[in-house]
A and B are shown apart, each in its own frame.
Chain A
Amino acid sequence: MPFIAVVDDEESVRKALRRLLRAAGLEAESYASGQEFLAHAAEREPDCVVLDLHMPSMSGRQLLPQIRNLATRPPVVVITAHDTPDNKEECLAAGACAYLCKPLEDRLLLNAISAALRVNASGPKRL
């Protein structure tokens, strides 16, 4: 079962997304900050990361390259409650495989995760 990490500083969103992903049959865990995620990623790297863009102290934009530098190079689905055209281009250029705006339709989110997992399965791994 694929393991999905949700990184979002907003507790209610974090909890709801974790609940949604688990209900959809995925293994999901959530983290309140980039630092917390990185600490846990050292033990077990996720198969996909659902990453909030706007977080204090370490933004999603800052965390994105660090996730892409993890050994398994997990794919990242960026989510945001504050959409701007620049954000989308920057995130995709920085390696995000999808960029979704909140509130999230479950179908769109699950499709994006599914597509990300497929692409990652066929892509190169960092050794």
Chain B
Amino acid sequence: MPALIVALGYYLAARVGFAFTLQPHPISTLWPPNALLMAALLLSPPRSWWVLLVAALPAHLLAELQSGVPLAMVLGWYASNCSEALIGAGLVRWCIAAPVRLDSLRSAGLLLLLGGLAAPLASSFLDAGLVKLIGFGEGEYWTLVRMRFSANVLAEITIVPLVLAWADWRPAAVRAMPLARRVEVAALFLALLAVSLLAFDLPLFGANLAPALWYAPLPFLLWAAVRFGVLGTTTSLALLVVVTIWGAIHGMGPFTGGTPQDTARDLQFFLIAASLPLLLLAVALEERSRAEREAHEQRLQLTHLSRVAMLGEMSGGLAHELNQPLTAILSNAQAAEHLIANQTIDNNELREILRDIIAADQRAGEVIRRLRALFKRGETHLERLDANELVRETLTLAQGDLATRSIAPVLKLAPGALAIHGDRIQLEQVMLNLILNAAQAMAEHTAAERTLTVRSAGNGSWVYLSFADRGPGFAPEMVEKLFEPFYTTKPLGLGLGLSISRSIVRAHGGRLWGASHAAHGASFHIALPAVRAD
């Protein structure tokens, strides 16, 4: 099947090559079959390359023999075409591990240098030599080398990246594309087509005026590079190449008025000069965007791992928090059993027992629901939240841990709601971290001395939350060190809690800082942008 596709593609590419020939002396502006063959080799394992090269032969014969070229020359060109594909694919595969993809500047640079320049250059010497050896045509050797080289470079640097980019494309990508992005794609290509037609395919502008128009497609090509990566850029460049050459061979646009050789040279240099930097720009942007995505993903993973580790630390407290309602449920049910056995129960008492069982069950269910939410790993989900409600919910989760440490939190919350915009789970994670740190800092104190005070306040622009303990505090010079990754004062701590908490708060546009109060413990403060009431 790949051999058939290559044969068909090679034949059609040769027809396009013939169609993109300047008259009256046939000068090729773009010769795509070699590029197509090179792309096919790059996408296939080397052991099957011979099959693809053999498959290209009938297509080559069919295309070339129609033009009345002697068989010896046709076979010579087949040899030089195959040599170009083989040299390019071989060198690229030697330097880049399979699969060859335009996913880094290094890969793209090597592909363009070896496949786009070295291979056409080497094979052009062979090609021109064969032409002179067979005695076909009247061109000078070096002229033949230059003309073939530039036509093939243009084809290699536009078609090979295009094929490689589209080889990775899947129809599912379109189905998953939001409507706005589909509209943007359509707008980009329509605008690029319109501007390219205006600049290169209309007899409106003379050759002297037109050079200024060469830059007309540039904004749209940059748009493609920035917004649609390598796939968008290679496709846009292919469109530009087709429209520009079409205009030139029909005597329209800026590339007219000179000899066919001059026209081909100017056209090719313009298109090569436009393609190389834009392609590299698209690859660089995509590489950076991928690195950012990976960093984001790793941050999410680390945040989740830290949260799970924290919940592990809280396991005793969480067991306490679940055992309490379970105790209420069991003792109420067994009390009812005793009352029934004694025949001393009345309906009102039974109703009250059942009501208490239901309430305890709901409380246990709520603890489990919150735990599941915290254990779950997910993308950031921003929503409007009430900071006071968030504090209360977080304390509900921490209640078991605080209870096992005989700590009753003191709440001094601002009246009413304090609206903020944020991810509920991530902000709960930050607060849980601060609450657990505070609780652990007071481990050496007696129960009466263990005080955790949680305050909230708002001034319209900012919402402030603070968590103050009565532990030993920390030296003032340690205040920033506490937020460094892997710094910990706990024997079994990972040292990531405060560092991740600070990055979460920063991602919410806020600040997290600590303060130590001599002999009065430490306090940690969160400032988050307030959302104005509707």
**Residues of chain A having any CB pair with chain B under 8 Å:** 9-10, 12-13, 15-17, 19-20, 22-25, 54-59, 62, 81-82, 84, 101-106
Complexed CA–CA distance, A23 and B337 (Å): 9
**Alpha-carbon distance A19/B342, docked complex (angstroms):** 14
B438, chain A: closest CB distance, angstroms: 14
Residue of B nearest to A107 (CB): B334
- Are A81 and B323 in contact, with the CB atoms below 8 A? yes
Which residues of the partner chain B approach A23 to less than 8 Å between Cβ atoms?
335-336, 338-339, 342, 344
A16 touches B332 (CB 8 A): yes
Q: How many residues of B contact A (CB 8 A)?
A: 40
- Pick the residue among B319, B330, B337, B338 that contacts A82 (CB under 8 A): B319
Q: A82-B317, A103-B327 are in contact. List 16 more A-B contacts (CB 8 A).
A: A10-B324, A12-B359, A13-B331, A16-B327, A17-B327, A19-B332, A20-B332, A54-B406, A56-B406, A81-B400, A81-B403, A103-B326, A104-B327, A104-B331, A105-B330, A106-B335
Q: Which of A57, A84, A106 contacts B447 (CB 8 A)?
A: A57
Residues of A within 8 A of B404 (CB): 54, 81-82
Instruction: Say yes or no: is B54 at the interface (Cβ < 8 Å to chain A).
Output: no
Cβ 8 A contact of A57, one of B317, B325, B448? B448
Residue of A nearest to B446 (CB): A62
Min distance, Cβ B526 to any Cβ of chain A, angstroms: 24
Chain A residues within an 8 Å CB radius of B450 = 56
| Distance from A33 Cβ to chain B, minimum over Cβ atoms (Å) | 10
Q: Does B185 make an interface contact (CB < 8 A)?
A: no
Interchain CA distance A82-B336 in the complex, whole Å: 26
Complexed CA–CA distance, A106 and B339 (Å): 13
Output the residue of A15, A16, A25, A104 with the most chain B CB within 10 A.
Answer: A16
B370 contacts A by Cβ under 8 Å: no
Residues of A within 8 A of B320 (CB): 54, 81-82
Tell me which residues across on chain B come within 8 A of A13, comparing CB atoms: 324, 327-328, 331
Question: Does A56 contact B447, Cβ atoms closer than 8 Å?
Answer: yes
| A69 → B minimal CB distance (Å) | 18
Q: B408 → chain A, closest Cβ, in Å?
A: 3
With the chains together, A21 CA to B378 CA distance in Å?
A: 47
| Docked complex Cα distance between A55 and B405 (Å) | 8
- Candidates B319, B323, B328; contact of A16 at CB < 8 Å: B328
Closest chain B residue to A60 by CB distance?
Answer: B406
Bound CA span A22–B344, Å: 11
With A and B bound together, what is the CA distance between A103 and B319 in angstroms? Answer: 11
- Interchain nearest-CB distance for B401 vs A (Å): 9
Q: Shortest beta-carbon distance, B55 to chain A, in Å?
A: 74
Option from B317, B332, B406 in Cβ contact (under 8 Å) with A55: B406
A16 / chain B contacts, CB cutoff of 8 Å:
327-332, 335, 356, 360
A54 B403 Cβ-Cβ under 8 A: yes
Are A103 and B330 interface neighbours, CB within 8 A?
yes
**Does the CB pair B324–A20 fall under 8 Å?**
no
Q: Is B353 an interface residue (CB 8 A)?
A: yes
CA distance A57 to B324 in the complex (A): 19
Q: Is the CB of A56 within 8 A of B400?
A: no
Q: Is the CB of B323 within 8 A of A59?
A: no
The answer to whether B324 and A106 have CB atoms under 8 Å apart is no
A12 vs B296: C-alpha distance when bound (angstroms): 44
The answer to whether A20 touches B408 (Cβ under 8 A) is: no
**Cβ–Cβ < 8 Å partners of A12 in chain B:** 324-325, 328, 356, 359-360, 363
**Is B192 at the interface (CB under 8 A from chain A)?**
no
Choice from A15, A59, A102 contacting B406 with Cβ under 8 Å: A59
Q: B329 contacts A56, CB within 8 Å?
A: no
Residue in contact with A81 in the complex, picked from B327, B329, B356, B360, CB distance below 8 Å: B327
B2 at the A interface (CB under 8 A): no
